[in-house]
Chain A
């Protein structure tokens, strides 16, 4: 198996890394997240126009470059290292994949996603289902030429930034996917910030009328595509987590070399050296698990699901340990907003529960291994 990146993939990684290290300022992004619009639209423009990363993993027909899972991995890791809050995974990986597979009228919207002019967010989790998306109880009924949507969605990530929403709903025969304009005068929505400084919404659809063309793909047949989107989202945030962990481990090692106690750097104490070695070993296992998931993303659904669950469970454990120990080894400084480590810790915490928790993925891996 060849783990080397191609020349083009290296260029993608290096170009994005340079862009982020010169243009993506942690303090500015936190200010945008906390008190501003929640994101920096000029950064998104840069992603679309200067770097072309929004289409890097999408086919040429929709304006992309024709890459695949490895390109997503390279991009997501770089975004994780810089703690980017802009919705690459939500809009390009998850919604982008759903639009691509739906085809037809969804293609025009996907072209806008690649051009950076549309932000699309998926609303799938519900109060009763948690993040088991297949247990949706939102219903879409056909009335003449229209669909009528009734139900509630929770924690729809990036929805407050979105121009369009993808909403899952139960119809005859199963789960369907609907395209809904993010027109907040027509939708009962509560927008809020998340603990990792992103934006999300709780939504209530109380008989929202949609045109016939709002149905994407075939009626009742959306689940296989949704399951794939969820796995692709999980694999992408696993790569993002690797970027976050590389950064906090490097920061922690550097801090332990600088910080003096009892007349010597605290990094000279064996108990802390061993702790950092354990962090390193968790990180290396996480890297290997991401490769396993990424190289199986285009395999048969059960092979893909098993590899992704192995990765998400491994990354969940690693993100928890590495995040907690990075804070611990920074001491009181690790608890402040001044150092980067506290912000990375929050992201490393939130991603353990995104696209299925660690427990969920352990259970899924077990059930797929038994059968």
Chain B
């Protein structure tokens, strides 16, 4: 049963990943990534990490993907041209990807990790539940936790600064962005 679930989820993850790379329309790439993320959540559940799986579904497949869909809808699903600036790029890139895969596999499987071909030690039923993760996050890893919260705040402020309208000529943004003008960033024409 576990093997069946693993192979189904692994096929979903691989198919989603290949779909992201192969689809010409960015919207279909985003949808393929959602399939990939749900399959990964199943794999996380198989690895006895319930909280990470739930965070994956809620944060990634929910919030982040909605952001992607909004941006793709805003800029329009522009289909990429087939023009290649580097000759042979489409042939060379899969070769390099396969080289990375072989290299990583040799590095991991050739390592002297004894427990790699085992199922892992037996863990209690509460392994990876929110209580355990939260206790670790608020006691042992308190400083990284606070640092990541500051990072999130900085990213939010940075995104607002990056995507704000400024210096753009047009009557439509006279009402939509009064903050940008009050900062004195934009010069009214």
Chains A and B are bound partners:
no
Could you tell me which B residues sit within 8 Å of A by CB distance? none
